[in-house]
Amino acid sequence: MRMPIRLASVAALVALSLPVLGAAAQQQVPAAPAQEPAAPSPAAAPIFPKPDPANFTAATPTKETVSAFLQASWGYDDTRVWQVQAILKTAAEGVSKVIVYVGDKSGKQKPSVLQFLALSDGKHIITGDEIIPFGDKPFAEYRSQLQKRADGPYRGSASKDLELVEFTDFQCPHCKDAQANMDKLAVDFPKARIVFQNFPLTHIHAASLTAAAYGVCVTKLGGSDAFFRYASAVFDGQDGLANADGVVMTLNSAVTKAGLDPAKIATCSTTPEVDANVEASIKLAQDLNINQTPTLVINGRQVAANAPYDALKQIIEYQAKQDGVAQ
């Protein structure tokens, strides 16, 4: 389920929303203050005014680093254009204010202004109320963390060169919808490792933690193939998770369809080992600053797993190319 704490500016910046959504989100980026350059009026194609050297008062980040960051974030969309318009010192030592003009080649979208604060470590920026990775390879650190810590059941390749990690909640309706995308990805990207990571949102989905624990036990006793049969059955019967009696019936039925004994799985699901496994998966999501489900992380890059499939595929192909991965 999408949670309201992610601002539109973040979605636009790191492409958590897809191309058809990204432009609309950009339009919601706050306009620059009056003393700073204003975005140009829309035209057949955006023609940005020449940057004023007086608006580049900060030594870091460089214009080249900002452009490389935006290329890494937005390069999958060849209709999007931008220009770094200012990199300004702020009252906070080492913190710079970056202003970027954004448009599209067709001129259909009104040009907009993107602003963010670049921190002194050179590795993070603040946009809206969030701190996100920055640099010419902004997804590399998250990719490394996932290669080390994403330990859920998987399908596809054993190699982690192209790793697609889905953070999901069994009781989330949007996660159920996303499974069609995940099945298509498994066919279209046979060299990818597609990992299922539990991220139960227990404050809104009471049964999600139990469903996750059962899934861990199904994997433990039956392997990844059994898990994906279980997961498919749980999502198909998701409505049954709405009440206590339905939870037991739905999960037991899913375990049976996976070819395992419901009684053994139920006993396994209450052990400290399983509890620790689910908590570790939740902690991984939190460390990656994931705050909505379903989120798909593509070699460290976060997108919505239930986004339009063609756009999702486009981003995966672009990210794989950026990382030098054969598809």
Q: Tell the burial category of 312 from Cβ atoms under 10 Å away from its Cβ (0-12, 13-18, 19+).
A: buried
Residue tagged 């907009």 (tokens): 112
Residue 292 DSSP code: S
Calculate mean pLDDT across residues 205-215: 97
Q: Give 158-198 pLDDT, tens digit per residue.
A: 999 999 999 999 999 999 999 999 999 999 999 999 999 99
Contacts 24+ apart (CB under 8 A), 229-235: 229/257, 229/258, 229/259, 230/254, 230/255, 230/257, 230/258, 230/260, 231/170, 231/179, 231/196, 232/179, 233/257, 233/258, 234/170, 235/170, 235/175, 235/176, 235/179
How close are the terminal C-alpha atoms of the chain, in Å? 30
Range list for CATH 3.40.30.10 in the chain: 141-322
Please state which architecture CATH assigns to domain 141-322. Answer: 3-Layer(aba) Sandwich (3.40)
> Rounded to 5, what percent of the chain is helix, strand, coil?
45, 20, 40
Q: How confident is the model at residue 40 (pLDDT cuts 50, 70, 90)?
A: low
The pLDDT, as a whole number, for residue 10 is 35
Of 111 and 255, more confident: 255
Measure CA 74 to chain center. 14
Residue 7 has pLDDT above 80, yes or no: no
Residue 17 has pLDDT above 50, yes or no: no
Among residues 122, 102, 107, 121, the alpha carbon closest in space to that of 13 is found at 102
Q: How far apart are CA 198 and CA 212, in angstroms?
A: 6
Residue 28 has pLDDT above 60, yes or no: no
Q: Tell the burial category of 212 from Cβ atoms under 10 Å away from its Cβ (0-12, 13-18, 19+).
A: buried
Q: Give 261-301 pLDDT, tens digit per residue.
A: 999 999 999 999 999 999 999 999 999 999 899 999 999 99
Task: Find the farthest-apart pair of alpha carbons in the chain and give their distance in angstroms, rounded.
Answer: 71
pTM of the model: 0.85
Q: How far apart are CA 139 and CA 76, in angstroms?
A: 15
The pLDDT, as a whole number, for residue 29 is 32
Cβ within 8 Å of residue 2, ≥6 positions away: 174, 292, 304
